[in-house]
Structure 1
Amino acid sequence: MQAAVITSPGKVEVRESPLQDPKAGELLIRVEGCGVCPSNLPLWEGRPWFNYPIPPGTPGHEGWGRVCAVGKGVAGFAEGDRVTFLSDHAYAEYDTITAEAAVKLPAELEGLPFPGEAVGCAVNVFRRSAIRAGDTVAVVGAGFLGIIFTALASRAGARVIALSRRQHPLDLALSYGAAEAVSMDDHWRVIEKMKELAGPAGCDVVVEATGHQWPLDLSGELVKERGRMVIAGYHQDGPRQVNMQQWNWKGLDVINAHEREARIYVEGIAAGVEAAAGRAFDLEGLVTHSFGLDSLNEAYAMLTERPEGFIKGIVSIHP
């Protein structure tokens, strides 16, 4: 089979790789596609702690496709089943996974791209946020996760205010249920605008979904006393500073909404499949760019630049 290999920082090649038959308890997947995740940018850009070349297919972890072989002892899956799955080597024509890492895709989602891990993350962030009807919620960062979260929170009866530095994501957030949209162009202007929209006390819940320092600072300003600050952004480019005096004074509940157990990830993916099949959100409208396996460099470059109109990129392998 062919698989993408990051051979050195900023360089990806497509190479031949052995095709492995599934062992007991495993499934062999003919990969249709895989989402491109910003959490993997440091691996592509290069950091001192990474060793190159990276194993074939790594770090693709948002894959979906069809079961083409079933290992011994596997129940509940058959050849031809369309699934989304959790792995870390799905930038390849085929992937071998444990059956526990797969979630079936229903007929309602036939033919649609489904980067399950990314959807599952959004669902798990929503679960951890404990949104209630009547809450005023600020979503700082209207990307793929932030917009899905917006749709789920709005359906739960919350009043959602979406914030982004780009206009296209703000327009999308409004179409997915946000009550208001605020451009992140100036720190103090945003604070004053949010006081107008949410009231001087601030928001019941603020979800930081960017992974950068300034939005984290801004989030602390927007949440009310005894409110909840939910960290959904992946902060991976160095240490962060927080205004602990402010956080102490406000008595915040700070929730790090990142999971590490595979079981929890898969539960989130399954819940996301159910929500998407029930039209809780339009996943197709959030997948804005598609690349071939041999264009992964271009996909990462676009993910870095995030031009207007970009929300989510995928690698299409067996469409």
Structure 2
Amino acid sequence: MRAAILSAPGQIDLADAPLPEPAAGEVRLRLEGCGVCASNLEPWQGLEWMTYPGEAGGLGHEGWGVVDALGDGVEGLAPGDRVAALSTRSLADYDVAAADMVAKLPAALDGHPFPGEPLGCAFNIFRRSDVQPGQTVAIVGIGFLGAVLTRLCTAAGARVIAISRRRESLDLARHYGAAETIAMHDHYEIIDRVKALTGEAMCERVIEAVGKQWPLDLAGELVAFGGRLVIAGYHQDGPRQVSMQMWNWKGIDVANAHERDPAVQMRGLREAIEWVADGRLDPTPLYSHLYPLERLGEALNATRDKPQGFVKALVMLS
């Protein structure tokens, strides 16, 4: 099979790799596609602690496709079932996954891309946010996650203030229901604007969805007394400093919303499937850039550089 290998920082090689065989309790997938995640960017750029070359297909954890073969003891799945998978080597023609880490896709999703891992991640972040009707929720960073969270929070009856750098991102937030948008340029102007929008009360919930120091600092400033700061951004490029004095003074809760419990991950994935299948969430506008496997390097660069109109890249495999 074809498989993408991160051979060195900034270098993807397309290799002819052995077809994986499913072990007991696993299924093999013939992949249709795989999303490109912002967490891929640090390995792509180069990290001192990483070993190169990486595994065949190893950057891919947002795959979907068709069950191709079953390992011993697998029940409830059959060859031909279309599924989204939580697996780790999906930038290749085939991958294997634990049978209990795949979810069937209903007929309503036939022909539609479905990067299940990030969609499920958004639903799990939303659950950890504990958003209630009538609350004001600030979402700092409107990319793929921020846009989906905007939809979920507005559907829950909250008023969303979307904060992001690019005008087109703020337009996207409006599309998904944001009541107010603020350009993320000046730290103190943003704080003053949120004060004005909330009558000085600030926001009961703030979701940080960037993964960098300044947006985290800003998010802490926007939380109301007794509110909740939800860290959805993936902070993997070094230590962070936080204002514990401010957090203590405000008496806020802080939730790190990246779930690692497999059962919780699957719960979010199943919820995402239900919402997309019945039309409550349409993620189609978020799949802005499609690439073949041979152009994975371009997809990674676009994820980093965010050209005009970029939200999320998908690598299409069949």
TM-score bracket, normalised by the shorter chain, equals over 0.9
1:239 aligns with 2:250: no
Q: Equivalents in 2 of 1:106, 1:285: separation in Å? A: 20
Q: Please say if residues 33 and 63 of structure 1, whose CA atoms lie closer than 8 Å, have aligned partners that are also in contact.
A: yes
Shift of residue 274 of structure 1? 0.9
* 1:185-237 deviation line (CA, Å, top 9, x unaligned): 11111111111212201001000000011111111111111110000001111
Alignment match, 2:130: 130
Alignment match, 1:86: 86
Alignment match, 1:269: 269
Task: Give matches, 1:28-43, under 5 Å.
Answer: 28-43=28-43
Task: Give matches, 1:221-300, under 5 Å.
Answer: 221-300=221-300
Structure 1 letter corresponding to 2:272: G
Q: Please say if residues 166 and 308 of structure 1, whose CA atoms lie closer than 8 Å, have aligned partners that are also in contact.
A: no
Alignment match, 1:58: 58
Task: Give matches, 1:304-315, under 5 Å.
Answer: 304-315=304-315
Shift of residue 263 of structure 1? 2.2
Q: Please say if residues 29 and 67 of structure 1, whose CA atoms lie closer than 8 Å, have aligned partners that are also in contact.
A: yes
Q: Please say if residues 2 and 17 of structure 1, whose CA atoms lie closer than 8 Å, have aligned partners that are also in contact.
A: yes
Stretches of structure 1 lacking an aligned partner (at least 5 in a row): none
Q: Equivalents in 2 of 1:26, 1:240: separation in Å? A: 38
Structure 2 letter corresponding to 1:49: W
Count of aligned pairs: 318
RMSD: 0.9
Structure 2 letter corresponding to 1:64: W
Q: Equivalents in 2 of 1:63, 1:81: separation in Å? A: 14
Shift of residue 76 of structure 1? 1.2
Alignment match, 1:217: 217
Q: Please say if residues 35 and 62 of structure 1, whose CA atoms lie closer than 8 Å, have aligned partners that are also in contact.
A: yes
Alignment match, 1:24: 24
1:147 aligns with 2:167: no
Q: Equivalents in 2 of 1:175, 1:103: separation in Å? A: 28
* 1:107-166 deviation line (CA, Å, top 9, x unaligned): 111111111000011000000011111110000011101111110111111111111001
1:161 aligns with 2:161: yes
Q: Equivalents in 2 of 1:42, 1:219: separation in Å? A: 23
Shift of residue 258 of structure 1? 1.1
Stretches of structure 2 lacking an aligned partner (at least 5 in a row): none
Q: Please say if residues 152 and 280 of structure 1, whose CA atoms lie closer than 8 Å, have aligned partners that are also in contact.
A: no
**Secondary structure of 2:77's partner?**
coil
Alignment match, 2:195: 195
Q: Equivalents in 1 of 2:113, 2:68: separation in Å? A: 18
Q: Please say if residues 27 and 96 of structure 1, whose CA atoms lie closer than 8 Å, have aligned partners that are also in contact.
A: yes
Q: Equivalents in 1 of 2:263, 2:61: separation in Å? A: 15
**Secondary structure of 2:89's partner?**
coil
Shift of residue 262 of structure 1? 2.1
Q: Equivalents in 1 of 2:61, 2:43: separation in Å? A: 13
Alignment match, 1:13: 13
Q: Equivalents in 2 of 1:293, 1:63: separation in Å? A: 13
Percent sequence identity over aligned pairs: 53
Q: Equivalents in 2 of 1:58, 1:148: separation in Å? A: 26
